[in-house]
Structure 1
């Protein structure tokens, strides 16, 4: 199947990174000062402006076509959405309000935390101000007009705080009677954000969602059932939540979904398990164009679940790790791409290996800095890994 058959072929990029990049040293230093109350928000913003220009040049230098601002204006990857929604408030919540079966929450319990910052929905959800419009406009000013369509905006999943607190503790039950009502209004807010970004020229949006990989974890599934939570029904709820956010989008807007197993300070992961448990349902029922799939370690399982992948979507294989500076071998990456194509074509009379290969791209397994402190590697390591992706993509696809 030639790539021009994809509705988003004009923005199909064979090699890219998932979104966040290491903060340049001047920004790291300024953020540390800001956290200690030793500089103003304006001074931090000036350092962020310089950092955006820096990471943009870094991407250009290594040959990346997909362009992001590296999320350098964010303290953590999910910043920018829920705190900007009317009806949501940031509060310190007791640890008992967090679902212990969620892998990263289990670590909070193990650490002995009694309270933690989160959000609570205390009123009707409305989008009164933009999430990322200003960040998009800032980056847009720095690229050529013909490259605006290659800017990628990343945003957290609509289920991010719901999975922490569940259907009983996420929202005031006098405001929303159930999850369907809650996600209807969140979906409307996301659609309004996506519409504004599109009108500004954005053609690529990536939703970051660690939650789907949690459903690949046997231990979590078992503990959910013991807690009286139906994991299959909740998976359906989260698929619907994504679909509500992206429904009725323009045909030339590419929506990607990144599934992650955790990338906290120092690159710490939270969960493990292959995609087999969710592959058929997630790959086919989620209304997205591109899946960014983490495949850098054995924690991710093998490629066999790709046989469930539909013919009209793209799978971006996260074969290059951001959790260490060790550089992968190009021949190993090439071999794994072909292995994935073979798995995708297996048991599918409508898909040859060459068709499957055309549905694949490569990327980092996650961002280099999902939190501002970043992962344990240097900017030089980061550049080598990005350049490697560009090189291997050219060897496989000539692009």
Structure 2
């Protein structure tokens, strides 16, 4: 089973998408917010940082290119801010993660959702310009279900219902703006789209009823809503657009928001969500075991996130290989792939490791993939 380069994702050794920002890029963003440099100057610095990153990705042997999410403050909110009807402001409370609050902007509706040209399309075009015979560009965005979570959680619901008579009408507009964005992205040449999705991560946590202010029957209803809105967007797309998803339990400064195995969502997520592949966290005990993978239906692929991005400690190659073979009891080896468990910097602050340690992790993923599938 030799490793070959493919125009479709995932690749045998892959990445979720975000990378640690270099210090000069962080400094430039601070200077821009302080009014010391112009937006044009910031964009030029971003362009240089992404150009350098893409060169490093190619040198690492990666066949999938991303911009590292270097133009974003957070993995999901910048995408939402670009739609009409979404506002944001600096938070005063933050979101509770394990041992640390994520101080990311409060984000809320200011009116009904509508679509205009989205800057992520231009971001994609920049990365696409670096493609060659061995590499392909991938665009990452938050999943539609993540949009529902953001604006329907108990703390946000009252505001959302100021602008929508009911949630069904809100869902219809979410589907419309996602379809409009993907239409524009596809026209720009994108054929590999990744939907990042923390919504399922909150549902697997024992505190799920508390998070969503409901009971088990209510959680099952939410699972169906998340599944339905994701599939409403996925099923409308061209057949040559590969759509994958990354399921996350939170990733901020090496902390996490939720814990729990995939057992309680597997019959929804793995069996019924119509993606081409799942990027799944399996880096520690918080993620549970591999048994829920038995629900993965059809010929869908699974990218095992066995190398953590939350710690600089380098895993042992032999341990990763053993876990891949354990997972193959539930999904055939030829439909299994390997990546780090999450991005290295879901938010601008990044995780607690150095760039050198980041690339050592990616090199380990490559070495293991070549030994298992090469």
Report the TM-score, using the length of structure 2 for normalisation.
0.90
* 1-structure distance, mates of 2:166, 2:89: 21
Residues 66 and 91 from structure 1, CA distance in 2 versus in 1: closer, same or farther, beyond 3 angstroms?
A: same
CA distances 1:126-156 after superposition (whole Å, capped 9, x unpaired):
1112241100111122222x456x2110001
8 Å CA contact 2:13, 2:369 repeated in 1? yes
Q: What is the Cα deviation at residue 166 of structure 1?
A: 2.5
Say if 2:253 is the partner of 1:253. Answer: no
Residues 23 and 286 from structure 1, CA distance in 2 versus in 1: closer, same or farther, beyond 3 angstroms?
A: same
8 Å CA contact 2:145, 2:227 repeated in 1? no
Q: Which runs of 5 or more residues in structure 2 are unaligned? A: none
User: Where does 1:260-271 land on structure 2 (aligned, <5 Å)?
Assistant: 260-264=248-252, 266-271=253-258
Instruction: Report how many aligned residue pairs link the two structures.
Output: 371
Q: SS in structure 2 opposite 1:383?
A: helix
Partner residue, 2:122: 134
8 Å CA contact 1:85, 1:127 repeated in 2? yes
* 2-structure distance, mates of 1:2, 1:380: 28
Q: SS in structure 2 opposite 1:88?
A: strand
Q: What is the Cα deviation at residue 117 of structure 1?
A: 4.0
* 2-structure distance, mates of 1:227, 1:105: 22
Q: What is the Cα deviation at residue 37 of structure 1?
A: 3.8
Higher-helix-fraction structure: 1
8 Å CA contact 2:10, 2:303 repeated in 1? no
User: Where does 1:360-379 land on structure 2 (aligned, <5 Å)?
Assistant: 360-379=336-355
Partner residue, 1:54: 52
Residues 172 and 9 from structure 1, CA distance in 2 versus in 1: closer, same or farther, beyond 3 angstroms?
A: closer
8 Å CA contact 2:13, 2:337 repeated in 1? yes
CA distances 1:61-91 after superposition (whole Å, capped 9, x unpaired):
1101111111111111114322121222335
Partner residue, 1:387: 363
Residues 194 and 319 from structure 1, CA distance in 2 versus in 1: closer, same or farther, beyond 3 angstroms?
A: same
CA distances 1:239-265 after superposition (whole Å, capped 9, x unpaired):
11211222221111111111111111x
* 1-structure distance, mates of 2:273, 2:352: 33
Q: What is the Cα deviation at residue 313 of structure 1?
A: 0.4
Partner residue, 1:208: 196
Aligned residue among 81, 86, 89 for 1:83: 81
User: Where does 1:172-187 land on structure 2 (aligned, <5 Å)?
Assistant: 172-173=160-161, 175-187=163-175
Q: Which runs of 5 or more residues in structure 1 are unaligned? A: 96-103, 346-355
8 Å CA contact 1:91, 1:117 repeated in 2? yes
Say if 2:154 is the partner of 1:158. Answer: no
User: Where does 1:186-205 land on structure 2 (aligned, <5 Å)?
Assistant: 186-205=174-193
Q: SS in structure 2 opposite 1:336?
A: helix
Q: What is the Cα deviation at residue 367 of structure 1?
A: 0.4
Residues 133 and 216 from structure 1, CA distance in 2 versus in 1: closer, same or farther, beyond 3 angstroms?
A: same
Aligned residue among 328, 335, 339 for 1:359: 335
8 Å CA contact 1:67, 1:151 repeated in 2? yes
Q: What is the Cα deviation at residue 189 of structure 1?
A: 1.1
* 1-structure distance, mates of 2:284, 2:271: 24
Residues 138 and 91 from structure 1, CA distance in 2 versus in 1: closer, same or farther, beyond 3 angstroms?
A: same
